[in-house]
């Protein structure tokens, strides 16, 4: 009888462990599903900076192209 009770105790403890693992898996799944929403505030700050860098790069490329074109026209 004691052996049977120990078996039930082990099953119960394993079930508790499984329940905890299931809850952790649910939390991880929610984070994975909502990752973009979690990162938006962080990435949003960099997005403005990236947009400015792209704008400056385009303007710089245009200036270099114009300078090259005028150098060819003069030469």
Residues 6+ away with beta carbon under 8 Å from 31: 38
pLDDT of the residue at 48? 86
Residues 6+ apart with CB under 8 A from 38: 31
pLDDT in tens, 50-64: 899 999 999 999 999
Length of the chain: 75
Give the per-residue pLDDT at 45.
Answer: 81
* CB-neighbour burial class of residue 56 (10 A; exposed 0-12, middle 13-18, buried 19+): exposed
Q: Is the pLDDT of residue 75 over 70?
A: no
pLDDT at 10: 94
Give, as one character, the DSSP assignment of residue 34: T
Q: Is the pTM of the predicted complex or chain greater than 0.75?
A: no
Q: Where is pLDDT greater, at 39 or 23?
A: 23
Q: Please state, for a pLDDT cut of 70, what percent of the chain lies above it.
A: 97
């Amino acid at each position: 009888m004691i052996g049977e009770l120990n078996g039930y105790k082990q099953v119960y403890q394993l079930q508790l462990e499984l329940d905890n693992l299931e809850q952790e898996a649910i939390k991880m799944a929610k984070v994975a599903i909502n990752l973009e929403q979690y990162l938006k505030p962080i990435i949003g700050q960099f997005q403005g900076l990236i947009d400015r860098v792209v704008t400056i790069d385009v303007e710089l490329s245009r200036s270099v192209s114009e300078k090259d074109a005028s150098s060819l026209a003069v030469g």
